[in-house]
Structure 1
Amino acid sequence: MEGGKKMHVETRKLPEWYVMQDVHDLGERLQLYEDQMNLLEYPHMMSAWEKVDRLTYLQKIYEDTPYFGRKLRYFNTAPWWYRSVFNLEEIPDNSRIWIVFPGVDYHCKVWLNGRYLGEHTGYFDDFSFEISDGVRTGENVLYVKVWSYWDTEVDPGAESMRCFAVKRNMVKGTCEHGDGFIQRDVNPVGIVGTPFLHIKRACFLESVAVENLLLEDGRGLVRIRGEITVVEDKKEDKSSEAAKGQDLQVRICLLGPDRMLAAEKEVSGQGAWMEEITVENPMLWNTWDRGGSRLYELQVVLCDRTGEAVDSVCKHLGFKTVRLLRNTETTRFYLNGRPLFLRGTSYFPDVYVGDIPGEKYRHDLLLMREAGFNAIRVHVHVEQPVFYELCDEMGFLVFQDSDFSWNHPTMAQWLAKNLGIFDRMVERLRGYACLGCWILLNEPDKWKTLLDYFGSCLEEIIARTDSITEAIGRQLTERVKRLDPMHPYIRASYDEADLESGDSHTYLGSLRSQASNYTDIEGTTEKFNTEYGMDAPGTLDNLFRIRPLYEALLPVRERMEEIQQYQCRLLKYYTEHYRRQRFAPCSAYFQFMFIDLCPQSFYGIVDWWGIPKQSYPVLKEINQPVAVLAYPQEGQIALMLVNDTEQKKRGIIRFTISRNGLLYRQGELEAQIPADSSVQAGSISDFGSFSQDKDLELLFLAEDGTVIATNHYQGAFCEWKHIAGHPVPVNNELGMRIFR
C-alpha cells in the first residue's frame, strides 16, 4: 500500500539465502532441486550449505582480494547452487506472481518447489519467471544453479596471444582481458542483488513501452504502448471486482523540463492499447556544455472506477536527433542537427559491475564534468540503469559498447544462442536520452595481423567468412538497424577506413611498443579517436592497503614520480594534438580510461579508490569547453583558441615565461573567438631555447578579468622518450604492470 491508496502491485524480498559449490557438477543429475538430499551424506561430492548475508559476486563474499590471485579460478571450475525458503500466508485469488532476479552472472537455471522455471544467460539485465501456478501457501523452496566457466579454445597458431585469441563463449567483457586490465584469474559469478516476489492483483499495467522522436516539422512525438491486464477471480470464475461493470482508465501525463504539463491523454477499457501524444516546440536534450539536459517526465497511471490509482509507470525521456556522418575524409557526430566535438573518456568503474552503488556513479560523473568531458564510452560492458539515468540527468553523451570484443566463436549454433544478448542490450538502453551511438565490436580481427597464421593484410583477414567482422559484425549491424534505427553505430571500433566504423585507436608511446614515442603522432591526423592513453599507478599510500601490489612496486618506488609525469605528458600531448585538429579532420577523442577498474589496473586518471592522479588536473585544464593552446611553429610559439561552446569569447591572452621559477618574460595580446570554432590567436616570438627548467603559463581572460581558460607547460616543449619498463613486463599473478 502507498499513501493509503489501494495499489495493486506489491514486492516482497526473499532475504534468506544459502549457497554451496557443486564441485563435481552432479546436483542437477541427482535432482538436488527436489529438496530431498542431505548434503552431509555427500561430502565427497558437494560443499555444505552456507548462509550468505548479502547476494553479490561470490568472489566478493569469500575472498578479501577478489581482484587477483590463482585461487579465484576455483570459483569458475564448477557450478554453485543457491537455496531460499520463503513463506506465503495467503495467495490472493485474483493475483499473478513473478519472481524477479535483479541480476545473475552468468548462466543460471531456476526451480521452485521442484518445478523447473527456466534459465537465463547474461549479466547485465534483470529477468523474471511467472510462478502463479507453482507457488503455494506456506513454505516454498527456491533453487538456483549458477555458473560462469572459463573458455579454453584458442585459435590454432595464436596460442602466444591467448588474451586476444581465446574464443569467448560468453558475451561478457568483464573477464578474459589479461593484458594489465583485468587480471587473468578474474571471472565474476553469482546472484547479484536480492530476488523478490512481484505480486499483482486484480488489474495492472503490463508491458508499457515508450518511444519518442522528433518529427520533421520539429514537433516531438511520444508513442506509448501497453496492456491493461485483469486477473480473474478463480473462486468465482469471473472478472475481478475492480473491473466489474465499468471501464478501467489509463491517465497519461507528460511533464516538461519546467515541470509544467506538456500534454495529457486518457485511455479506457482493457487489453492492449497504444496512444500518441505530440509536443509543440519541444525543449531538446543536449550535453551539459551545450545547453544541458532537458528531460520530460511521462506518467502512466491506471485508475479504478473510483479514480484511485492502482498501478503506475514513470519514465524520463529526452527529445534529440543524432547522426554520425562518415566518408573517407570525415567522421563527425551531429546532435540536434549541429556538429558536436566530443571530449570523451572511457568508463569501466569496476570489474564487479553489478555491485557499484549509485553514489559512486554520481561521484565519478561529477569528476568527469569538472574535468570537462562531455562524452563517455562505456567500454565492452553494460552498466546498471542508474548510470544511464544519471547521464540523462547530467548531460553526458554515451557511446555504448556491446560485450563482443576481440574473438568469439562464429558457428551458426553459437550465434543463434548468443546474439539475443545483444538484442536485450539494445532494447534495454535505446530509450535513454544520453545514448549517442552503439559500438558493435571492439577491435575484431586486428590482432590477427601480428601472426603469419592468418595472413598479414587486414583487408584479406576481414574478408574471410569466419572473420569476426564478417560473421558477427554483419549480423549485429542488421539487428541494430532493425531494433534501433534512431541511433548510429560503429561496426568495428578501430577501423578508420571502414565507412561503417570510421574511428581509430592510437597507442604510440604507450601500448604500441617500447620503441614508440608519443611524439610519433606529430604530423598524423585522425578523424575520430575512440582510444588513446597510458597507464600509471596512483599514490603508493592507497596501494599500501593491498600489500602484494605495494610490494611489487617497491623496486620502482624512486621512479613513481617519473611514471606519473610521463602519463601526464602523454595525455597532454595527445589531447592538444586532437584539439588543434578540431574538425580538420578530428571531431572526437576518448581518453582510455577515466578510472582504474581495479586496484592494480592503472589506465585511469583517477585511481580505483576515486582519488585523482597527477594526470587529472593536467587533463582537466586542457579539456574544458574553451581551451588556450601553444605549440612550436617555425621558430615561434603559436597560440590557438578552441571554443566548443555556443557563445563567442573575447578578451586577452596573457603569457608568462619563467626559468627556474623566476620570471623570464611576460606579455599579452588581444584575442577573440567565434562560437563553436578554433582560431590562431597569435604567437610568442623570442621564446628562446627549450629546456626542462623553462615553463610557460597561459591565461585567457574575459574583458571583465574573468578567467576563461588556463594552460601550463612545464619544461615547455621538451618532450619525453617512452619510459623504461613499459608496456612490459606484467606480473600476471597480480595482473599488474610493474615498470621494470
Structure 2
Amino acid sequence: MNWLSRALLLAVFLLIQGCSVLPTTPPDTANVAGSLNGTWEFLPSGSAEMPANNARWQRIRVPGNWSAQGFDHHGIGWYRLNFHAEVAPETLSTLHFGGVDYFADVWLNGQKLGAHEGYFQTFSFDVTPHLKAGQNTLLVRVNSPLEKPEDFSLRKRLIKGIFAHHDTRPGGAWSERGQEKNTGGIWGEVRLQQSAPVQLQPQQVQVQAVKGLEQWRVKVDLDVLGKLPAGAQLQWSVEPVGFAEEGVCNTPLQCPRRGVLHTPSSNISITHPKLWNPKGYGDPNLYTLTVSAVHNGKVLDSFQRSIAFRKVERSSQGIWKVNHQRILLKGTNYIAHQWLSEMKTDDFRRDIQLMQDAHINTVRVHAHITAPEFYRLCDETGLMVWQDFPLQWGYQDTAEFHQQAVSQVGDMIRQFGHHPSIIHWTLHNEPPWDADWMKWKYKDYDPQQNKRLDDKLYQTAKALDNTRPITAISATKEHPWLGWYSGHWLDYAKPTKLHTIAEFGAQALPDRFTLAKILGEEPELPTSKADWKLWEYHNFQRKETLEIAKVPQGKTLEQFISNTQHYQAQLTQLAAESYRRQAYQPVGSLFQFMLVENWPSMNWAVVDFWRKPKPAYYALQRAYQPVLPSLAWNKVNYAAGEPVTVGAWALNDSLAHLPNAQYRLTLWQGRQQRDTQSWSFELAPDSHRHLRDYTVPVQQPGKYRLAAEITDAQGKVISRNEYRFTIQSQ
C-alpha cells in the first residue's frame, strides 16, 4: 500500500470515528509546573492567629516533617514562602500540595484559599484570581495536635493510624509519652502549575476486566478547570512501558490504544493487553495512560497515570488468584519511617529489594498510607501490596468523625486505586468491636464501638472499587501472636483454622553498636526501673520478653541480645514454615510482623532502623524460599530415649516443575555425619506435599542438626533448610 492509499484510509477512518488520534510527535505544551520546594520560613506557635510583623521566623525544609528537622513541636506551625511567578494572559494557575499532616489552612497574598484535613492526600487550590506577576507570599497554617487526654487512646479524632497511636511510635502505644515526636508538617512536595486556558485534574482512574483476561475497561474520571476552546478534544493514549506490542497499530483501523474522550468521565476499551504479574509469575507489564486537552494541534494541558491490566480474586475461603493463577501470599508488615519526608526513592527501592531478597511477594502497609513513590516502585517490581486505611484501634463515634472517615476512604481509593500492585484494601485494624482484650483495659469499653463506622467505610469502598477484594477490618483473631502476647512459640506447630494470618512475630534487640546509636550512650544491661524506662520508650517490651516469651536475660548484654535474636529467629521460621505447609488448607496469606524498625527503636522488626538485618531476617528468607524442603517438628529439646520424628515436606510456591527432583536428609552431630537418606520425587508447580516421616536413628545425648535439600535431575541444589535440636542426657 503506497503513502496516498494510507492517507486516504486514515481520512476515512477519522471521518467514521468523528475524531482524531494523538499525533506521533507531541506538539509543544503550554503547561508549566514550578516547584516550590526548598527552604521556607517556619514559626512553631500555639496561636491560630496570624503571626505578628515582628515574629521570629526560623528556616525549615519543604518537604519535611518538622520533628525530623529538630522541631520538637505539636499543634500549630506557620509556614511562609515568598516566591516569584509569571502570569501570562488567560493562564490558569493551581497550587498543589503532595501531603500535609494534619490540618492545613492556606493563604496567598492575604486571600484565604481554603482548608484541608488529612495527612496522606494530595490537594490543590485554584489561585488564578490571587496570583500576581512578580512577588507572591504563600502562608500555610499547619495544625498537627495531640489527641485530647480524654479521647486518647480509645476515642481518637485524627485519622493517622500508626502515626498517632501504635506500639512502634516513640513512647509506644500506652505510655503517657506515646504522642511525642509529632509527625506534623508539609511532608509532600508543593508546586505551582500553570497552563492556558484549561487544566485537567484526574479524579479516578480504574482498570477493570470485562471478559476473561482479554477485554478490559479503563474508567477515566477527571475535572476540567477553565473552558475547553471550541473544537478542542480530550485525546487519550495507552502506551506500553519498556516493551513493544506487536501487531497493535499496523494500520489506523487497527489502533485500539488511542482515541478521544467525549466526556470528562468516560470508559476506554482495551483488548489483549500484556498483563501485570507479580514477580515470579510473569512480567509486571505497565502502560502509561495519557489524557491531553488538544486544540489545533497544540496540547493545552495533559496528565499521565501508570496503569496495568491484572485481575485479582479472593475466594470465600481466603484463597488468592492473580490472573487466574493461585498464589499463596507470603508477606510482611511494613512501616517505612515515622516521618515520611525522610524516605526517598532509593530508600524505598532498598526496602523493596530487602523484601524480594527474602522471597516476600506481598507487603502489608500496616495501618497507614505511605508515600506515593513506594507504590510506583511496587508496580514496577511486581511486589503486591495489601493496603490498610489509617485506622488503628478506637475512634469517636460521632457523625462528624464518621463523615470525615468516609471522605478520606474515598480519597485513598481515588488517589491510589490505579496502582496494579495494590491488590487489597483493609479499612480498620483491630477496631474496638472486634477487640475483646479492650474490656480488660478500658472501664467504659463498648463492645459495639465503631461497628457502624466500619460498615459505612466498607459500603463506601465497595461502591468506589469493585476491581479488588476489600475487607472491613483486620481482625484480632488473625493476629495470633503466639509466644509473645499469649501461648508458647511452639504452638505455631499446631494446625490453624485461619485463612489469613495478618500478623505474627516477636521482638529482638539489634546488635550492640546499633543499640548505642538508639540510646545515645554506651549500652548496658538494665538494672534499674529508670534503665528499663529508656528501653521501653524505644518500644522494648520487658514483660512480654521475660515473662511470656521467657527469653533468658543472661549475665551480659551480649548474651541478652543473642538470646532475643535467637528467639525471634526460631519463632519466625517455625511459624512461617508451619503456615506454608497449611497452604490453601486453610491458609491463603501470612504476614510476618514486621520488616524494618521505623525509627531508632528496638521492636518486632527483622531489620533494624539503619537496615542491618537481624538473624530472623535470614530465618524468614529461608522459610519463604519458593521451593522449600520444609521440616515439620514441634519441639527442640528431647528427653533421653524419646523418639525424634520429623516430617519431610516439599513446598513449591513457584511455577517450576521438576519431574525428577531429589530430596536429601543428612543428620549431623557437630562435624560428624550420623545418617543420610535421599529419594526421588516429582515436584509439581504450586504444590505442598508431605513426602514421609524421618525418625532419627540415634539416641546419644547432644546437639544435632538435620539438614535438608532439594536438587534437580542434574544434582543442582534448588534450596536448603535445617532443623536443630538437642537430646538431653539422663
- Report TM bin, short chain: 0.7 to 0.9
Contact 1:265 1:277 in 2 (8 A): no
Contact 1:173 1:381 in 2 (8 A): yes
Deviation at 1:227, TM superposition (A): 6.3
Cα deviations across residues 123-144 of structure 1 (Å, max 9, x unaligned)? 1122111110111223222211
Contact 2:65 2:340 in 1 (8 A): no
Q: 1:231 to 1:147 in 2, by over 3 A?
A: closer
Contact 2:493 2:575 in 1 (8 A): no
Distance (Å, rounded) in 1 between the aligned partners of 2:198 and 2:127: 17
TM-score with structure 2 setting the length:
0.83
Aligned to 2:194, which of 186, 191, 199?
199
Alignment partner of 1:609: what SS?
A: coil
Match of 1:413 in 2: 400
Across the two proteins, how many residue pairs are aligned to each other? 648
Alignment partner of 2:211: what SS?
A: coil
Paired residues for 1:313-324 under 5 Å: 313-324=303-314
Q: 1:521 to 1:692 in 2, by over 3 A?
A: farther
Distance (Å, rounded) in 1 between the aligned partners of 2:459 and 2:158: 21
Does residue 258 of structure 1 match 2:246?
Answer: no
Distance (Å, rounded) in 2 between the aligned partners of 1:455 and 1:53: 44
Distance (Å, rounded) in 1 between the aligned partners of 2:39 and 2:168: 38
Does residue 18 of structure 1 match 2:41?
Answer: yes
Distance (Å, rounded) in 1 between the aligned partners of 2:712 and 2:64: 52
Match of 1:582 in 2: 583
Distance (Å, rounded) in 2 between the aligned partners of 1:132 and 1:372: 50
Q: 1:168 to 1:335 in 2, by over 3 A?
A: same
Contact 2:330 2:624 in 1 (8 A): yes
Match of 1:167 in 2: 155
Does residue 507 of structure 1 match 2:503?
Answer: no
Paired residues for 1:355-394 under 5 Å: 355-394=342-381
Give the residue type in structure 1 aligned to 2:59: K
Cα deviations across residues 477-508 of structure 1 (Å, max 9, x unaligned)? 11111111222122221255xxxxxxx11111
Distance (Å, rounded) in 2 between the aligned partners of 1:692 and 1:142: 73
Does residue 483 of structure 1 match 2:464?
Answer: yes
Contact 2:205 2:417 in 1 (8 A): no
Cα deviations across residues 351-405 of structure 1 (Å, max 9, x unaligned)? 1124310111111111111111111110011012211111111111111111111
Does residue 130 of structure 1 match 2:126?
Answer: yes
Alignment gaps of 5+ in structure 1: 41-47, 64-71, 156-161, 233-238, 497-503, 719-740
Q: 1:448 to 1:231 in 2, by over 3 A?
A: closer
Paired residues for 1:234-249 under 5 Å: 243=229, 247-248=232-233
Alignment partner of 1:545: what SS?
A: helix
Alignment partner of 1:365: what SS?
A: helix
Match of 1:725 in 2: none
Does residue 293 of structure 1 match 2:274?
Answer: no
Deviation at 1:473, TM superposition (A): 0.9
Match of 2:507 in 1: 535
Distance (Å, rounded) in 1 between the aligned partners of 2:458 and 2:627: 36
Alignment partner of 1:84: what SS?
A: strand
Does residue 428 of structure 1 match 2:429?
Answer: no
Deviation at 1:324, TM superposition (A): 2.1
Distance (Å, rounded) in 1 between the aligned partners of 2:665 and 2:683: 18
Alignment partner of 1:596: what SS?
A: coil
Match of 2:274 in 1: 283
Deviation at 1:678, TM superposition (A): 1.0
Contact 1:22 1:81 in 2 (8 A): yes
Aligned to 1:120, which of 96, 116, 124?
116
Match of 1:7 in 2: 29
Answer with 8-17 or 221-230: which moved more.
Answer: 221-230
Q: 1:542 to 1:495 in 2, by over 3 A?
A: closer
Aligned to 1:98, which of 90, 94, 100?
94
Deviation at 1:711, TM superposition (A): 0.3
Distance (Å, rounded) in 2 between the aligned partners of 1:373 and 1:717: 34
Distance (Å, rounded) in 2 between the aligned partners of 1:407 and 1:268: 44
Match of 2:135 in 1: 139
Contact 1:175 1:182 in 2 (8 A): no
Aligned to 1:49, which of 50, 57, 68?
57
Give the residue type in structure 2 aligned to 1:562: N
Cα deviations across residues 664-705 of structure 1 (Å, max 9, x unaligned)? 222322122221111122332334349662111111000112
Does residue 149 of structure 1 match 2:145?
Answer: yes
Distance (Å, rounded) in 2 between the aligned partners of 1:671 and 1:477: 47
Contact 1:220 1:319 in 2 (8 A): no
Give the residue type in structure 2 aligned to 1:398: V
Q: 1:686 to 1:511 in 2, by over 3 A?
A: closer
Match of 2:520 in 1: 548
Does residue 87 of structure 1 match 2:84?
Answer: yes
Deviation at 1:304, TM superposition (A): 3.9
Distance (Å, rounded) in 2 between the aligned partners of 1:414 and 1:273: 30
Contact 1:174 1:182 in 2 (8 A): no
Distance (Å, rounded) in 1 between the aligned partners of 2:129 and 2:319: 54
Q: 1:96 to 1:550 in 2, by over 3 A?
A: farther
Match of 2:550 in 1: none
Contact 2:204 2:417 in 1 (8 A): no
Does residue 520 of structure 1 match 2:491?
Answer: yes
Contact 1:346 1:377 in 2 (8 A): yes
Contact 1:100 1:129 in 2 (8 A): yes
Answer with 347-356 or 678-687: which moved more.
Answer: 678-687
Aligned to 1:39, which of 30, 54, 57?
54
Greater than 6 Å deviation, 4+ residue runs: 453-456
Alignment gaps of 5+ in structure 2: 1-24, 172-177, 249-255, 527-555, 635-642
Deviation at 1:551, TM superposition (A): 2.5
Alignment partner of 2:244: what SS?
A: coil
Alignment partner of 1:714: what SS?
A: strand
Contact 1:636 1:687 in 2 (8 A): no
Contact 1:56 1:192 in 2 (8 A): yes
Give the residue type in structure 2 aligned to 1:166: L
Q: 1:708 to 1:273 in 2, by over 3 A?
A: same
Q: 1:278 to 1:543 in 2, by over 3 A?
A: same
Does residue 214 of structure 1 match 2:229?
Answer: no
Distance (Å, rounded) in 1 between the aligned partners of 2:684 and 2:139: 64
Deviation at 1:258, TM superposition (A): 2.8
Deviation at 1:443, TM superposition (A): 0.7
Q: 1:297 to 1:708 in 2, by over 3 A?
A: same
Paired residues for 1:434-513 under 5 Å: 434-445=421-432, 446-451=434-439, 462=447, 464=448, 467-468=449-450, 470-495=451-476, 504-512=478-486
Contact 2:155 2:396 in 1 (8 A): yes
Q: 1:635 to 1:216 in 2, by over 3 A?
A: same
Cα deviations across residues 216-270 of structure 1 (Å, max 9, x unaligned)? 35423233536695857xxxxxx9xxx57x545625243377332743333288x
Q: 1:453 to 1:705 in 2, by over 3 A?
A: closer
Alignment partner of 1:551: what SS?
A: coil
Alignment partner of 1:424: what SS?
A: helix
Q: 1:631 to 1:545 in 2, by over 3 A?
A: same
Alignment partner of 1:441: what SS?
A: coil
Deviation at 1:592, TM superposition (A): 0.3
Contact 1:696 1:716 in 2 (8 A): no
Match of 1:644 in 2: 653
Match of 1:312 in 2: 302
Contact 1:549 1:600 in 2 (8 A): no
Q: 1:190 to 1:672 in 2, by over 3 A?
A: same
Distance (Å, rounded) in 2 between the aligned partners of 1:612 and 1:166: 34
Cα deviations across residues 633-679 of structure 1 (Å, max 9, x unaligned)? 98532200011122322311122211123222223221222211111
Aligned to 1:660, which of 663, 670, 682?
670
Match of 1:674 in 2: 684
Distance (Å, rounded) in 2 between the aligned partners of 1:619 and 1:105: 34
Distance (Å, rounded) in 2 between the aligned partners of 1:616 and 1:414: 40
Match of 1:236 in 2: none
Give the residue type in structure 2 aligned to 1:486: T
Distance (Å, rounded) in 2 between the aligned partners of 1:614 and 1:447: 32
